[in-house]
Amino acid sequence: MQFYAGLDFYRGAYAAVKNRMGNMDLLISLGTLTAFFFSLVITFYPGLFPVDYTYFDASAFIITLILTGNYIENLTKRKANSSASALLSLIPDRVHLLDNGIPRDIMIEKLVPGNIIQVRPGENVPADGIVADGSSEIDESMLTGESEPVLKKAGSNVTSGTMNINGTLSVKVTAAGKNSTVNKIYSLIQMASMGRAKIQKISDIFSSYFVPIVLIAATSSAIFWYFYLRSSGNPLYFIISILVFVSVVVIACPCAIGLAAPITLLISSNESSRNGILIKNSSSMDRLSKIDTVIFDKTGTITDNTPKIINFTTSGDRKLAVSLLYSIESGSNHPVARAIVEYLQGMNPEKLDISQYKEVPGIGVTGEYMGKTLEARRSGEHISLLIDGNELASLNVEHNLRSGIEKDIKNLIRNNIRVLIVTGDTVENTGRIASQLGIEEYYCSIKPEGKAEIVMEQQKKGSYVMFVGDGINDTVAMQTADVGVAMASGSDIATASGDIILLNNDLKNILGSIIIGKYTIRKIKQNIGWAIGYNSALIPVAAGVLVPLLGLGIYYVLPIFAALAMGLSSTTVVLNSMRLGKHMEKGIMASSL
């Protein structure tokens, strides 16, 4: 138990001594090893000291409690290591290599720059390249976060991991494997995760001050009794001075400090989940309490991801127009087409037979109905249904702001938190939404690595940054930010990369999570105070202050007081942590008024 279970503490203590600094591991090692070896001497040489009480139980209890605390702290971290690897699943294992115009399948590993490959509808683009032939709309939402597909034709650049929607493309490969965009994003996520500043544990900060104090108190007390008893002719002067040193060190080691943070974080996480906030990475709590800047992605975060159909009008036979538009759009995989079909389903359309169906990337869909040319044309956010050039129906598409977002942004600003928008969308769309929300600072047409660079720029200015997003394109920025927040409705990779997930997609919980961080850190500091309070009160007793009054008999009852202090400090820490939920709830309600 002592050396197997406590091995990591001793390694950490050795590193601390080597670096000439105090930490929690050094404090634990000092207390438990002193207790253990002193107890060994008592066991094998029972008459050597004027007391016969051993501290084996105290040593084991301290190690067990602190390991339990570490286990609680690590429960929510186990899935974090594999978050970025899911990104690589966007690349297919096999690709269609064009050999003299004839496609044959090869493994992705054999693909090299200069190869011509075929990308069919519904397939992901396996490598970066330039379109050599064909045209199609590409879903680049993984890269830009925007739900609107982008038309690609001869000469256009295409990016690995994006999805081909409706046309067959011949693509000349410019970058494959580790040099492709998807692999670069993967590497950026890994580096950002590894390079994120290691926030020193509060308990280590405390220990860096407390360890020297304990050593000074123990050493000075031992020296005092050594010379005092020697000068007074007591033959046990050396033995008693060692007893004093051991007693001070063992008594000072606060076992409850191992619970001070983990039990608070566990209760905080449970209360947060009850409010729709899943805190995956409890080590981010300290950073969360300091957040002063929140950066939002736009599409899928500030706005809904699903296009909304508005201003639907028809001319002539409305039922026929509804049925024709429903029938021709049903054959398309375009996000707007899917939204139109879903919208029209509530009007009980009839599925009509459309012949000569063809999807024209960037323009819309065409076909024939009863010998007449039928077209559903898309021009930006406007859709028109034409038959032989005559308009039968029209509608517009928009992305709604999330419900209550205006109030949520105002509450953040009211609490002295800067709010920015960083998105891959156009300046027109972003500017309009920023104006609606009263956000003055926004960045447009930004790629994934660009989002991370903006986060780092804010951090260089001294800001603690939270990034809120929902897509694969946001993962690098999430990992780079002090705290990454993902919408539960977002991609699996985004939710795996975030420190926090908003389970109900409610942005009022952004401010709520910051308040939770502040209350949690405050409670941890209180708990550390309680954890050391009882034990510290006994340090003067262990140092021998009461020996002149009670004699050396005080060292017979001191272990009993030490055990009582351990029990009281642990109980107090747990009870104090249980009050956290009520305080958090009041704080969240007050901030959202």
Sequence-ordered strand ranges (E) for 407-516? 418-422, 441-443, 465-469, 483-487, 500-502
297 classed as catalytic: yes
Secondary structure letter of residue 8 according to DSSP: H
Q: Strands, DSSP E only, in 108-260? A: 116-119, 128-133, 136-139, 150-152, 157-158, 163-164, 169-175
**CA 197/CA 282 separation, integer angstroms:** 15
Give me the helix-helix angle, 318-329 and 335-345, nearest 10°. 140
DSSP state of 125: P
Residues 6+ apart with CB under 8 A from 236: 50, 229
195-215: burial string, b at 16+ Cβ within 10 Å, e else: ebeeeebbbbebbbebbeebb
Please say whether the beta carbons of 499 and 269 come within 8 A: no
Close Cβ partners of 557 (under 8 Å, ≥ 6 residues apart): none
Closest CA to 242 of 49, 498, 67: 49
State the amino acid at position 25 in one-letter form. Answer: D
Catalytic entry in 128, 139, 286, 297: 297
Residue entry with tokens 């946001």: 474
Residue 141, both tokens = 């939402």
The C-alpha atoms of residue 255 and residue 9 are separated, in whole angstroms, by 13
Q: Which has the closest alpha carbon to 244: 229, 259, 258? A: 229
**Which residues have a catalytic role annotated?**
297
